[in-house]
Amino acid sequence: MFDETEILTIDVISDVICPWCYIGKKRLEKGLALRPDVATEIRWRPYQLDPTIPMGGIDRQLYMLQKFGDPHKIVEMHQRIAAVGLEEGIHFNFGAIERTPHTLDAHRMIRWAYDVGLVDEVVSGLFRAFFEDGRDIGDHEVLVDIGNVAGMRPEGVAKMLAGDDDKNTVSMEFMQAQQMGIRGVPCFIFGSKVAVNGAETPETIATAIDAALEELNGPIDPA
């Protein structure tokens, strides 16, 4: 049986400009609440939906038209996602987004947040800033502000963003995800044993936790 002192790792492969990853984060939290006795460690892993986006980002409207073509299709897609988001307490504001950013620097900041125990605050801040406030999370000043609100030292974040800290590490992790065959996010990997692709329901997340624990420790004794 799983020792309550042990920790189940959950690797979340995602991109902070992926709306389904934001929804997936909320559903993961609900799934974990269904298994309150299981100690977990969530490890956010970088992914880039489109690594061809220039480092300075690109005009959002132009990018969406290039990617999807039909503006009516874009509106309908956003409406569907927004409706699902409301069910999870997310107020998507796609109309406020002016630029689609390259997310390398955002992923770098997530890595630094681990060192100060603020990763959940930073990830939540990045999602909220982009999808609800329409902020450019590729802009260093915006990233510093998000980090500051989360509790990180702004001067430290600014200094690291100005350098090359962890650029290669983040890029290598992204390539590793591709080598694993991951082509869509979010992807959740429980205990390096069980994978769930997509923003599945909290109940599916809870079932995956159970399956991972069984893989790691054998069948749970009902007694």
Q: How far is CA 98 from the centre of its chain?
A: 20
Q: Mean pLDDT throughout 182-198?
A: 95
- 169 within a domain of the structure (yes/no): yes
Q: Mean pLDDT throughout 135-156?
A: 98
- 196 within a domain of the structure (yes/no): yes
Q: Are 196 and 204 within 8 A, CB to CB?
A: yes
pLDDT digits (tens, 9 = 90+) for 6-24: 899 999 999 999 999 999 9
Supply 42's token pair: 């969530």
- 131 within a domain of the structure (yes/no): yes
Distance CA 27, CA 8 (A): 17
CB-based contacts of 140: which residues, under 8 Å, 6+ apart? 105, 158, 161, 162
pLDDT of residue 217: 84
CA neighbours closer than 13 Å in the CB half-sphere of residue 160: 22
Q: Mean pLDDT throughout 68-92?
A: 96
pLDDT of residue 183: 87
Q: Are 38 and 214 within 8 A, CB to CB?
A: no
pLDDT digits (tens, 9 = 90+) for 33-56: 999 999 999 999 999 999 999 999
CATH number at residue 129: 3.40.30.10
User: Residue 223 pLDDT > 80, yes or no?
Assistant: no
Supply 169's token pair: 């590490």
pLDDT bucket at 177, cuts 50 / 70 / 90: very high
Residue 83 CA: distances (Å) to CA of 61, 77, 92, 207 = 21, 10, 9, 25
pLDDT of residue 218: 72
Helix, strand, or coil (residue 171): helix
pLDDT of residue 6: 82
- 2 within a domain of the structure (yes/no): no
If you average pLDDT over every residue of the chain, what do you get?
A: 94
pLDDT of residue 219: 63
Q: Are 94 and 64 within 8 A, CB to CB?
A: no
Distance CA 139, CA 55 (A): 10
- 58 within a domain of the structure (yes/no): no
Q: Mean pLDDT throughout 52-70?
A: 94
- 126 within a domain of the structure (yes/no): yes
pLDDT digits (tens, 9 = 90+) for 103-119: 999 999 999 999 999 99
pLDDT of residue 54: 95
Query: For the residues of 86-117, what is the DSSP string, one character each?
Result: HHTT----GGG--EEPP-HHHHHHHHHHHHTT
Dihedral of alpha carbons 80, 84, 85, 91, sign: positive
User: Residue 221 pLDDT > 90, yes or no?
Assistant: no
- 115 within a domain of the structure (yes/no): yes
Distance CA 97, CA 58 (A): 11
Domain count, the chain: 1
CB-based contacts of 28: which residues, under 8 Å, 6+ apart? 10, 12, 42, 188, 202, 205
Containing structural domain, residue 42: 8-51+102-217
- 94 within a domain of the structure (yes/no): no
Residue 221 CA: distances (Å) to CA of 6, 102, 124 = 17, 48, 37
pLDDT of residue 33: 98
